[in-house]
């Protein structure tokens, strides 16, 4: 007859042997979907990439997010030596988070974490200059407390459009840094390389603005896939489907985000837009109707007065109204 507890003893011995091989290590996220998170870890054999999943399927504190982690996140991983996979237990506290509202998932979509600089890409043509999209990503950078930098790529193209130059000058006037570069000719890239050195940067921009081309020009050998323009519609074709982090030779980290055609700001409601747009914020609460002013029709609206006086650019005012409409639609479940 088998002695009582014999099987339990064998099981316990096995579990202790198994657990002795497990380590708790830190890794940095370099690529992430909703289910699979690729991290970079340091082992006795050197630096390696590790495919991870979430232990328990839901990370504490990340329950209502479209995706639980983003490139730039530091995570705690349960890892068995020499294994090709790991289990993520938790995400370290973040310095900041760059995100957008994902309409399909009706939740915040994390794009990058622990960022020093937000590189907001645009082009004068091919695809056309779209300042309203730029307004949104600049707003998101300001919401997150990340230093934004406007980068106008493809300046080698003869665009002959004074409106583009006027809007870029307007961004400078209201306090944004603006750089003009060309991935094709190399113009402006040395200055950009110095600006991003040893920083973690997040790249945003619509499809076709040349984010990948600039990265390849900054760091030969990266060989990031570059997309072509759809000639019929003069807009980019998506080549990046999720955020990916690249490390350059000088300890510079670049997080390339998916090219999107519509960007809904995240982390604020419609009433807070005025507080987060740079030239609007000083006028918040000064309208005749205070913070309840819609800034559309009211007499005594300081925002509309500033537009008429040229203090606020008409296009920026239009962006302001459209962003508020989008956020009001989100709040109403539209």
Return all residues near 84 (Cβ < 8 A) that are at least 6 apart.
50, 51
Q: How confident is the model at residue 35 (pLDDT cuts 50, 70, 90)?
A: confident
Q: pLDDT above 90 covers what percent of the chain?
A: 68
- Contacts of 313-321 with CB under 8 Å at 24 or more apart are 313/167, 313/170, 315/131, 315/132, 315/167, 316/135, 316/170, 316/174, 316/277, 316/279, 318/132, 319/131, 319/132, 319/135, 319/136, 320/273, 320/274, 320/277, 320/280, 320/295, 321/295, 321/296
* CB distance 136 to 263 below 8 Å: yes
Average pLDDT over residues 32-38: 86
Query: pLDDT tens, 68-116?
Result: 999 999 999 999 877 889 999 999 999 999 999 998 889 999 999 999 9
* CB distance 291 to 275 below 8 Å: no
Helices (DSSP H) in the chain: which residue ranges? 6-20, 131-144, 162-173, 189-196, 211-218, 273-276, 302-308, 314-331
Return all residues near 31 (Cβ < 8 A) that are at least 6 apart.
37, 38, 71, 242, 243, 244, 245
Query: pLDDT tens, 291-305?
Result: 999 999 999 999 999
How much is the pLDDT for 334? 67
Q: What are the DSSP calls for 39-50, one per residue?
A: EEEEETTEEEEE
């Amino acid at each position: 007859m088998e002695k009582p507890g014999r099987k339990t003893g064998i099981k316990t011995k096995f579990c202790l042997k198994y657990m002795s091989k497990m380590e708790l290590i830190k890794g940095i996220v370099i690529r992430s979907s909703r289910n699979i998170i690729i991290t970079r870890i340091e082992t006795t054999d050197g630096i390696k990439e590790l495919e991870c999943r979430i232990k328990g399927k839901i990370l504490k504190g990340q329950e209502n997010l479209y995706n639980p982690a983003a490139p730039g996140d530091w995570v705690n991983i349960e890892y068995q030596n020499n294994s090709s996979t790991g289990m993520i237990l938790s995400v370290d506290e973040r310095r900041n988070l760059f995100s957008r509202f994902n309409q399909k998932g009706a939740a915040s979509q994390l794009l990058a974490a622990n960022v020093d600089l937000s590189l907001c890409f645009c082009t004068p043509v091919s695809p056309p200059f779209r300042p309203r999209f730029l307004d949104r990503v600049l707003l998101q950078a300001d919401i997150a407390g990340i230093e934004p930098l406007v980068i106008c790529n493809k300046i080698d193209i003869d665009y002959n459009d004074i409106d583009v130059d006027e809007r870029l000058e307007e961004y400078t006037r209201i306090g944004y840094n603006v750089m003009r570069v060309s991935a094709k000719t190399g113009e402006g890239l040395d200055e950009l390389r110095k600006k991003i050195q040893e920083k973690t940067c997040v790249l945003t921009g619509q499809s076709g603005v040349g984010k990948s081309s600039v990265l390849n020009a900054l760091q030969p050998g990266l060989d990031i896939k570059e997309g072509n323009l759809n000639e019929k519609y003069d807009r980019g074709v998506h080549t990046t489907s999720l955020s990916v982090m690249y490390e350059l030779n000088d300890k510079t980290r670049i997080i390339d985000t998916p090219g999107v055609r519509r960007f809904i700001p995240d982390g604020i409601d419609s009433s807070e837009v005025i507080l987060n747009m740079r030239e609007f914020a000083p006028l918040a609460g000064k309208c005749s109707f205070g913070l309840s002013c819609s800034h559309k029709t009211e007499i005594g609206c300081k925002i509309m007065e500033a537009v008429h006086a040229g203090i606020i650019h008409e296009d920026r005012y239009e962006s302001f109204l459209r962003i508020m409409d989008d956020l009001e639609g989100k709040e109403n479940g539209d």
